[in-house]
């Protein structure tokens, strides 16, 4: 039995390293994006049009792999800039923390863990988990994501709570500090929070 468990653990570790190696290679090929501040949209006089433009700028974060990988529409998280299915194979499980015997914490600790040798790291955060299934949006348009975020039945948040989530949630913030060998989300969490507030202040309009 011990030999079986050791073999299983070794297989999980090798699959994890292989998946993270793919992330490291792809991250090196893709430059990080910038994010405009709300002031950049003040020249748009029509309030509704400005609101839509602000959300489209926020969309750079929502659709970036650092965000989208943890918002799958199925039960398997995505991984890497190419957003391939997580390796080793894992499922959402209770609370988005994985199935019994294969919890997220099996590989993901409370902080990023650099590889001892070579490039890359294993991502980590004290709250590491998948977003709830009703918050999955991989493959959806920005218009659909916007409507989803505004629907409290699916987002489980008011707009004010969404702004706080975007601006200060620690797991969201990991997207800008994802560890060695991994491209961060565009801009900064502070700027993302400011854009969210400006979007709300202009009526929280959605793209068509």
- 191 belongs to a structural domain: yes
Position 146 in a domain: yes
Query: Could you give the C-alpha distances from 21 to 14, 80, 87, in angstroms and in order?
Result: 10, 9, 11
- Under 8 Å between Cβ of 205 and 52: yes
Domain assignment of residue 207, yes or no:
no
Rounded Cα distance, 189 and 174, in Å: 9
* Count of domains observed in the chain: 1
The answer to whether residue 146 scores a pLDDT higher than 60 is yes
Q: With cut-offs at 50, 70 and 90, classify the pLDDT of residue 29.
A: very low
Tell me, yes or no, whether 206 lies in a domain.
no
pLDDT tens column, 2-21: 343 333 334 344 444 444 54
Distance CA 1, CA 167 (A): 47
CA-based nearest residue to 97, from 126, 68, 63, 55: 126
Is position 208 within any domain? no
Domain range for 191 is 2-201
Averaged pLDDT for residues 189-197: 98
Cα separation, 105 vs 107, in Å, equals 5
Q: What is the mean pLDDT of residues 169-191?
A: 97
What pTM does this model have? 0.85
Whether residue 47 contacts residue 153, with contact meaning beta carbons closer than 8 Å, is answered with no
In a domain, 149, yes or no: yes
pLDDT tens sequence across 61-76: 999 999 999 999 999 9
């Amino acid at each position: 039995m011990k030999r079986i468990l050791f073999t299983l653990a070794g297989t999980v570790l090798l699959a994890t390293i292989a998946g993270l190696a793919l992330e490291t290679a792809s991250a090196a090929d893709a430059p990080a994006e910038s994010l405009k501040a709300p002031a950049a949209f003040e020249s748009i006089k029509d309030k509704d049009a400005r609101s839509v433009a602000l959300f489209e700028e926020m969309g750079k974060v929502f659709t970036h792999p650092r965000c989208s990988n943890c918002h799958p529409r199925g039960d398997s998280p995505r991984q890497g800039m190419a957003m391939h299915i997580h390796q080793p194979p894992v499922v959402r499980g209770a609370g988005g923390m994985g199935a019994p015997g294969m919890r997220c914490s099996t590989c993901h600790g409370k902080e990023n863990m650099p590889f001892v040798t070579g490039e890359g790291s294993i991502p980590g955060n004290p709250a590491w988990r998948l977003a709830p299934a009703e918050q999955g949006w991989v493959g959806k348009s920005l218009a659909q994501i916007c409507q989803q975020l505004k629907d409290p039945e699916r987002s489980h948040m008011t707009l004010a709570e969404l702004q706080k989530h975007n601006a200060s949630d620690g797991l969201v913030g990991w997207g800008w500090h994802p560890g060695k060998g991994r491209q961060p989300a565009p801009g900064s969490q502070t700027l993302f929070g400011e854009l969210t507030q400006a979007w709300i202040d202009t009526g929280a309009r959605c793209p068509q």
